[in-house]
Amino acid sequence: VKLNMTVGKGEQVLKNCSRDKQEIIRSQLKSLKDSWANILMTAMSCHSRLEWTVAQWGSFLESKAQLQQWMEMVEQEAGVALPQQPGLKEKASLLERLRAIQADVEVHSSALTRLNEKATELYEKTGDQTFAEGPKSEFNTQFTNITSVIK
């Protein structure tokens, strides 16, 4: 609104000025309009990048929560499965369960890789410590520990 008022006032001044001054005022008005257009484009670009970052952040947190929940479930199941089984039939059943869990671990390792890649990308874009090496390392260690227990 204030820009339009300023341009309007500038155009009114044009009518009462000499040709030399009119050219200077026109140039200043054009510069003002161009600057405003540039500000609007920059604001839209920032808004778009901010929306992207928020969406990626939300997606990361959701994926991390799902993987965390899965790891907790596997830790719990492995803890229940590990006590010594007395008979051959029970041992075979335990081995089968552990093989199924191991296959599931292998499937989830790709989810962990994607999560690490997303964390790296978000850390580079935002600099937020949520995505830094420390938290990633803790999560990777937990996954590695689960993998070791299952094997």
Domain ranges of the chain: 3-150
Q: Domain spanning 3-150 has what CATH number?
A: 1.20.58.60
pLDDT value of residue 63: 93
pLDDT value of residue 132: 85
pLDDT value of residue 78: 74
CA atoms of 9 and 12, how far apart (whole Å) = 5
pTM for the predicted model, two decimal places: 0.69
User: Mind listing the pLDDT tens digit for each residue in 87-142?
Assistant: 888 788 878 888 888 888 888 999 999 999 999 999 998 888 888 888 888 888 88
**Beta-carbon count within 10 A of 103 CB:** 11
Letter string b/e over residues 82-101, b meaning 16 or more CB atoms within 10 A of that residue's CB: eeeeeeeeeeeeeeeebeeb
User: Mind listing the pLDDT tens digit for each residue in 27-74?
Assistant: 988 998 899 999 999 999 999 999 999 999 999 999 999 999 999 988
Helix (H) or strand (E) holding 123: helix 88-126
